Amino acid sequence: MKSSRAQRRCTDSPGIPLRSLRLGLLRHILWRFRRQRAPVGPPLRSPLVLLVDDEPDQVEMYQLALELSGFDVVAAYAGAQALEHARARMPAVIVLDVRLPDMSGWDVCAALTSDPRTQHIPIIILTAAASSTLPQQAKAAGCAAYLLKPCSPDLLTRTVQEVIGGHRQAPEV
């Protein structure tokens, strides 16, 4: 049975992982989708999501899912960078990992909630650090919701939509 040209290209490309090719294809589809659905009038502003995680693969996966759902996304890979972006860009919501290379996500959350410029921005904790006290920690830190990794992109997107829409209760995961 003959393999198609695209299949040969994906499997025969030395040094390019198949995952990268798939993400590239998804980016291209997103670009074409946005181009075809461009509004005629002035551009509408999509809600901005600040996505903070030190894992580039996860950032890319969640960023694509959120962009396909109509959000603008800016990524940060460390706590200090997240604080800079939050103060400069004023996102509609922040999705924050607890384990970051330079500071704890809880420290980032405390800095954001104590700053009058950013204290109104809802924060969603997204972490693999599962513990029995996570719901209490998230509530005490003033977070709008919490999710455990591995988290499906669809669940993250729904949670972001709910939080932006005013549903400020943490979903049970």
Confirm whether 2 is domain-assigned.
no
pLDDT-wise least confident of 25-39, 90-104, 125-139: 25-39
110 and 72 belong to one structural domain? yes
**For 9-40, what is each residue's pLDDT tens digit?**
444 445 556 666 667 667 767 666 666 655 55
Helix or strand run (H / E) with residue 72: strand 72-76
How many angstroms separate the Cα of 80 from the Cα of each of 23, 100, 146?
27, 10, 21
Residue 73, SS3? strand
The total number of structural domains that make up the chain: 2
Q: Look at residue 10 in the predicted model and tell me its pLDDT.
A: 42
Q: Which domain holds residue 83?
A: 45-164
pLDDT band at 103, cuts 50/70/90? very high
Each as own residue / partner, the long-range contacts of residues 108-111 (CB below 8 Å, 24 or more positions apart, any chain) are 108/52, 108/79, 108/82, 108/83, 109/141, 109/142, 109/143, 110/141, 111/83
